[in-house]
Amino acid sequence: MRESDGAACHGVQHFIRDLLALPSPPVLGLLTGNIRLGAEIKLRHFGLWEIFHFGGFADDHEDRNHIAVAAFERGRRIIGKHLQPEEIIVVGDTQFDIRCGKFIGARVLAVATGGASIMN
Protein backbone atom coordinates (compact mmCIF):
# COMPACT_ATOMS: atom_id res chain seq x y z
CA MET A 1 0.00 0.00 0.00
CA ARG A 2 2.94 2.33 0.58
CA GLU A 3 3.63 2.28 -3.15
CA SER A 4 -0.01 2.59 -4.17
CA ASP A 5 -0.98 5.71 -6.05
CA GLY A 6 -4.68 4.99 -5.52
CA ALA A 7 -7.01 7.14 -3.49
CA ALA A 8 -10.40 6.93 -1.84
CA CYS A 9 -13.18 7.61 -4.34
CA HIS A 10 -13.93 11.29 -4.71
CA GLY A 11 -16.59 12.43 -2.26
CA VAL A 12 -16.50 9.37 0.02
CA GLN A 13 -14.93 11.13 3.00
CA HIS A 14 -17.32 14.09 2.69
CA PHE A 15 -20.29 11.72 2.40
CA ILE A 16 -19.24 9.86 5.55
CA ARG A 17 -18.53 13.09 7.41
CA ASP A 18 -21.99 14.39 6.53
CA LEU A 19 -23.63 11.13 7.63
CA LEU A 20 -21.84 11.22 10.96
CA ALA A 21 -22.83 14.88 11.47
CA LEU A 22 -26.56 14.06 11.33
CA PRO A 23 -28.53 14.61 14.57
CA SER A 24 -29.00 10.81 14.79
CA PRO A 25 -26.04 9.45 12.84
CA PRO A 26 -26.24 5.94 11.44
CA VAL A 27 -24.09 3.07 12.64
CA LEU A 28 -21.83 2.24 9.71
CA GLY A 29 -21.03 -1.31 8.68
CA LEU A 30 -18.81 -2.53 5.88
CA LEU A 31 -19.86 -5.10 3.31
CA THR A 32 -17.10 -6.19 0.96
CA GLY A 33 -15.95 -9.04 -1.22
CA ASN A 34 -12.47 -8.63 0.29
CA ILE A 35 -11.22 -10.77 3.14
CA ARG A 36 -11.29 -8.91 6.46
CA LEU A 37 -7.52 -8.40 6.66
CA GLY A 38 -7.31 -7.11 3.08
CA ALA A 39 -10.17 -4.68 3.69
CA GLU A 40 -8.58 -3.48 6.91
CA ILE A 41 -5.19 -2.90 5.28
CA LYS A 42 -6.74 -0.99 2.38
CA LEU A 43 -9.15 1.11 4.45
CA ARG A 44 -6.60 1.92 7.18
CA HIS A 45 -4.34 3.27 4.45
CA PHE A 46 -7.06 5.75 3.49
CA GLY A 47 -8.12 6.54 7.07
CA LEU A 48 -11.51 4.86 6.71
CA TRP A 49 -11.29 1.61 8.71
CA GLU A 50 -12.08 3.11 12.10
CA ILE A 51 -15.51 4.43 11.11
CA PHE A 52 -17.00 0.96 10.64
CA HIS A 53 -18.50 -0.75 13.69
CA PHE A 54 -18.92 -4.17 12.03
CA GLY A 55 -18.79 -5.82 8.66
CA GLY A 56 -19.25 -8.77 6.35
CA PHE A 57 -16.26 -10.13 4.45
CA ALA A 58 -15.20 -12.81 1.97
CA ASP A 59 -13.95 -14.79 4.98
CA ASP A 60 -17.63 -15.24 5.90
CA HIS A 61 -18.77 -16.72 2.60
CA GLU A 62 -17.78 -16.83 -1.06
CA ASP A 63 -21.23 -15.62 -2.18
CA ARG A 64 -21.73 -11.89 -1.71
CA ASN A 65 -25.41 -12.38 -0.84
CA HIS A 66 -24.38 -14.46 2.14
CA ILE A 67 -21.68 -11.96 3.07
CA ALA A 68 -24.57 -9.49 3.35
CA VAL A 69 -26.39 -11.92 5.64
CA ALA A 70 -23.29 -12.13 7.87
CA ALA A 71 -23.04 -8.33 8.00
CA PHE A 72 -26.75 -8.04 8.84
CA GLU A 73 -26.41 -10.57 11.67
CA ARG A 74 -23.40 -8.68 13.08
CA GLY A 75 -25.33 -5.43 12.80
CA ARG A 76 -28.14 -6.95 14.84
CA ARG A 77 -25.66 -7.96 17.53
CA ILE A 78 -24.27 -4.40 17.67
CA ILE A 79 -27.46 -2.37 17.20
CA GLY A 80 -30.02 -4.78 18.60
CA LYS A 81 -32.33 -7.55 17.48
CA HIS A 82 -34.94 -4.93 16.57
CA LEU A 83 -32.89 -3.90 13.49
CA GLN A 84 -35.03 -4.49 10.41
CA PRO A 85 -33.74 -4.97 6.84
CA GLU A 86 -35.60 -1.89 5.57
CA GLU A 87 -33.59 0.23 8.04
CA ILE A 88 -30.39 -0.71 6.21
CA ILE A 89 -29.04 1.12 3.20
CA VAL A 90 -26.43 -0.69 1.12
CA VAL A 91 -24.30 1.78 -0.84
CA GLY A 92 -22.61 0.04 -3.73
CA ASP A 93 -21.00 0.53 -7.10
CA THR A 94 -21.54 -2.87 -8.73
CA GLN A 95 -24.50 -5.02 -9.68
CA PHE A 96 -23.33 -7.49 -7.01
CA ASP A 97 -23.76 -4.81 -4.34
CA ILE A 98 -27.27 -4.08 -5.58
CA ARG A 99 -28.19 -7.78 -5.59
CA CYS A 100 -26.87 -8.52 -2.11
CA GLY A 101 -28.67 -5.50 -0.65
CA LYS A 102 -31.92 -6.71 -2.16
CA PHE A 103 -31.17 -10.26 -0.97
CA ILE A 104 -31.34 -9.16 2.67
CA GLY A 105 -34.28 -6.80 2.07
CA ALA A 106 -32.23 -3.61 2.48
CA ARG A 107 -32.67 -0.39 0.56
CA VAL A 108 -29.91 0.20 -1.99
CA LEU A 109 -28.10 3.33 -3.15
CA ALA A 110 -26.18 2.68 -6.36
CA VAL A 111 -23.24 5.00 -7.01
CA ALA A 112 -21.22 5.45 -10.18
CA THR A 113 -17.68 4.84 -8.98
CA GLY A 114 -16.96 1.33 -10.23
CA GLY A 115 -16.45 -0.16 -13.65
CA ALA A 116 -20.07 -1.16 -14.18
CA SER A 117 -22.20 0.80 -16.60
CA ILE A 118 -25.81 1.86 -16.05
CA MET A 119 -26.80 -0.86 -18.51
CA ASN A 120 -25.38 -3.70 -16.36
Q: Which long-range contacts (CB under 8 A, 24 or more apart) does 12-20 make?
A: 12/48, 13/47, 13/48, 16/48, 16/51, 20/51
Give the C-alpha distances (Å, rounded to integers) separating 120 from 94, 95, 103, 104.
Answer: 9, 7, 18, 21
1 domain-assigned:
no
| Chain segment 12-55, per-residue pLDDT in tens | 889 999 999 999 999 999 999 999 999 999 999 999 999 999 99
* CA 84/CA 76 separation, integer angstroms: 9
* Structural domain count, the chain: 1
Which domain, by its residues, includes 92?
A: 28-110
Residue 36 confidence (pLDDT): 97
| Chain segment 77-102, per-residue pLDDT in tens | 999 989 999 999 999 888 899 999 99
* CA 55/CA 32 separation, integer angstroms: 8
pTM for the whole structure: 0.85
| Chain segment 15-27, per-residue pLDDT in tens | 999 999 999 999 9
Residue 112 confidence (pLDDT): 77
53 domain-assigned:
yes
2 domain-assigned:
no
